[in-house]
Structures are given as C-alpha cells and as structure tokens.
Amino acid sequence: MENMERRRFLGMTASGVAGAAGLTSLSGCGAGSGSGDVTLKLVAADYGDPGGNNSSETYWKSLADAFTKKNPGIQVEVTVHSWNVIGKKLNEMVESGNVPDMAQLDSYANWAAEGRLYKVSELLPIPAQAAFLVPLAEAGEVRRVQYGLPFVASTRLLFYNKSLFAKAGLDPDSPPKSWEDLKTAAKALKAAGVKIPYGLPLGPEEAQSEADMWMISNGGSYVDGVGNYTINSPRNIEAFTWLRDNLVAPGLTNPRPDRTNRQDLFDAFGRGEVGMLNGHPTLMPQADRHSVQYGTGKLPGKGGAADGTLGVADWMMAFKENGHRVECGKFLSFVYQEKNHYAFADRYDLMPVTIATTERMRRDPRHKELWRFLDRLNGAEFFPVGKVSWATINTELKTTIGKAALKGADPKAVLSGLQRKAEAADKKAER
C-alpha cells in the first residue's frame, strides 16, 4: 500500500463533503487573539511571468483589501517573492525571528515538525477542512496530523511548437512518445536551425521537478513505496545517463542545463526558440500571448509514453509565533471561498484544490484546454512533502541534481551523493 510520502492521485471525489459554503464559517475554531486591530503578514510566491502584467501581487492585494473591508479590524500585508528566492527568504525570516503569520510555499513539513505551525483543525471548522480534495489534504499531513493546506495543484505535459515541428519535417500533430522519438525529433529540430531543440531546466528554480519527470518516465522516483529515499536507484541513474548521452552531450538542449531556470525556457518557448519542453498549465496563456502554435502530449518514456506524470501542489501554512490563530483562520477561510479560490486558479490556469471549485472548472468551457491536465491527476506522483527532511533535500536538489546530466558528468556519483545527504537528513529528522 502506498504511504503518505509517495502519494498517487486515486480519484477526484470524496464522500461526506460539505460544499464551499462551509468555508465561510469559523464556528468551532476556539479561542485565540481575536480582539483589537491586527496586521497579518503573508509571504507568497509569484505565479506570474515576467512581462506578462500578471504578478500574483495584484491578486493578493485585491483579496486582502476585500477581506479587510469585511473584517475591519484585520489588515493583511502580503510580500510576494519569485520562486527562485522565496524558500531562501522565508527560511531567513524564520531563522531571524521575523516570522510571518502565514506563508504560501512548496513545502511545510520541517516547520510542522519543529512545532511552529498551527494544525489545520486549529484554523478551520470541519466543513471547511472537508472541502479539500482528499488525497491532497492527506498529503498535507505530518505524522498523521494535517498542517499544510493545499493551495493550487498542477500536472505536467510535454509541450512542443507545432510550427517548428513542421519546419523540421516532423508531424505537427504527433508528439514524441518515447525517449528515442524525443531524440529523433530533437535532431531534426536542430538540423532545421531551431535554437533549443529540447528545453532542459535543471537550474535552481525548479530542477527537482524536471529531474523527477525524467525519473518517472523510467519508472523511478525520489522515494519508494514506503517512503525511503531512492535517489540513486538504477532506474534514476539510467534516466540521467541517457539524458546526458543522448540530449545534452550532442547539443540538443540549452547550454548548461544546470544553470537554466524554467521561466527562462518558458520565455524562450514564447519567442519561438524552443522545440519541446516539459511544462505546466501556466505555459499555455504565455504561449497564447505570443501566438505560439503548440501541442501537448504525455511525458515520453523509455519504451513509450509514460503512464505517470509529475503532480505538484503548493501549500498554505500558518505560524504560531505571533499568536494570531483566529485571524489567520478567518483569512484562510476567505482565501478558500469558492469565488476567491477560483479567481486564482482561473487567473493562472492552475488546478484548484477544493472539490466544489474543481467541479466548477470542469463545467467552464473556457478551461477546456486545462481539462487535459486535470485528466492527468489520476496517477500523478507528488513530491514527498510529508517527509520532514524534504525541505532540506529539495533545496539541495535544486542546486545539485542538474550536474548529473552534464556532458562528462558521472550521474551515479552525483545521485549517490544526494542519496547520502537525503538519508542523513532523514535520520536527523527522526531524532
């Protein structure tokens, strides 16, 4: 049986779930500060793309103003950071004692294990807790207690530029299905003068995601079925060795993938400079703004299209330090009201995390293109965010794992070094 650390989406429905109306009430939350004027501080990640005029700061300011209008005694100050730096910034804040009231990030378990976070049951009433998609809510648990509130989710598909495919003599309606197909297409794109046949973002922004997709495409993963790290498994080593020898060494990717960030390649895709890359839903509106004719397909696997894909969930959490439990609960309930949660998911073409909002997106024909990503949730594999050591290893992966794919690199040595650090971090977390 799969455990909490290596979760696969097994469905999109749950029984006994109250609707979004349950998110508007805070009865049963218990005592807290709850009196006088309070200013809550929230640190959040930016989902916008540079030059797109869609920074998340705009969304949060509007939401904070609307919340304060309904709750005059509570102000909300939001600081938005790019994904490149938010983890580092938040760690520095916590370590220096300048702890925010709430944060929205891609990990939470280390702070939960240190006793810094409120339990979800201390923030939201039962109907509000029950409104989340069950597997995502469970993925927010550390040692069977939920501390992380899922914020948005996404899955990954292979994107390709149809115009560049046609220019290279490739079928614009047939994405590559296997690694060999991918290599063949990349060679043809390079011969046709395409600047970056395959975009490989293994830089510090999101190296852990691109790396995991290559592992998944060969039946590998960061952890096994019982939650033990398997970073240097034979399947993972094989995936990076193939990537090194068949795409990176022949010059079919961007130079120095270990220094290339995802957003840089998304921007290049919008400029028509990238033939193929793995992407999430926010790449769609960016490509549309630049009139890029693109197609999508399943992740290419060793012997054919991969069965699984990467699923990513980001998390909201509330810190105890400032004692604003009741106020945090009120604001978080407001954030997850259907209209507010849907507004964010709609703005960035991401997948919502509550049942009611997901069903609404399924009914919205404007999001027909997003349905293909929703379909991939069934079977998607998520990072082991419930492991206390994950935040430490996630940071290490971002700066190190890209080196395993470089020309002349030793994938086994790089992955084994990460494995040793992961095992050491795991032991430390268990003390």
Distances (CA, A) of 422 to 155, 236, 428: 25, 15, 10
User: Is the pLDDT reported for residue 31 higher than 70?
Assistant: no
User: Is the pLDDT reported for residue 37 higher than 80?
Assistant: yes
Last residue of a domain, one of 361, 382, 403: 382
The pLDDT of residue 19: 38
Highest mean pLDDT among 179-193, 341-355, 359-373: 179-193
Mean pLDDT, range 39-67, rounded to an integer = 88
* Cα-based torsion angle of the residue sequence 318, 319, 322, 328 in order, rounded to the nearest 10 degrees: 10
CATH number at residue 346: 3.40.190.10
The pLDDT of residue 50: 54
Co-location of 67 and 199 in the same domain:
no
User: Is the pLDDT reported for residue 292 higher than 50?
Assistant: yes
pLDDT digits (tens, 9 = 90+) for 335-351: 999 999 999 999 988 89
Co-location of 240 and 370 in the same domain:
no
The pLDDT of residue 135: 75
Co-location of 215 and 77 in the same domain:
no
Co-location of 291 and 399 in the same domain:
yes
pLDDT digits (tens, 9 = 90+) for 77-91: 999 999 889 988 999
The pLDDT of residue 378: 72
Domain assignment present for residue 49? The answer is yes
User: Is the pLDDT reported for residue 17 higher than 50?
Assistant: no
Co-location of 276 and 174 in the same domain:
yes
Q: What is the overall mean pLDDT for the chain?
A: 89
Return the number of other C-beta atoms located less than 10 Å from residue 37's C-beta. Answer: 8
Residues 252 and 200: their CA atoms lie apart, in Å, by 10
User: Is the pLDDT reported for residue 271 higher than 50?
Assistant: yes
Nearest by Cα to 216 from 182, 239, 234, 200: 239
Co-location of 421 and 344 in the same domain:
no
Residues 430 and 326: their CA atoms lie apart, in Å, by 31
Co-location of 41 and 103 in the same domain:
yes
Domain assignment present for residue 10? The answer is no
Most distant CA pair in the chain: distance in Å? 68
pLDDT digits (tens, 9 = 90+) for 326-338: 999 999 999 999 9
Q: Are 383 and 211 in contact (CB under 8 A)?
A: no
Co-location of 174 and 135 in the same domain:
no
The pLDDT of residue 52: 53
pTM to 2 decimal places: 0.79
The pLDDT of residue 3: 35
pLDDT digits (tens, 9 = 90+) for 152-164: 998 999 999 999 9
Co-location of 141 and 61 in the same domain:
yes
Mean pLDDT, range 10-17, rounded to an integer = 33
Number of folded domains that form the chain: 2
Residue 225: pLDDT band (50, 70, 90) is confident
147-151, 253-257, 387-391: least confidently modelled range = 387-391
Nearest by Cα to 335 from 17, 39, 14, 60: 60
Co-location of 177 and 286 in the same domain:
yes
Mean pLDDT, range 211-240, rounded to an integer = 96
Range of the domain at 70: 20-154+311-382
pLDDT above 70 coverage of the chain, percent: 91
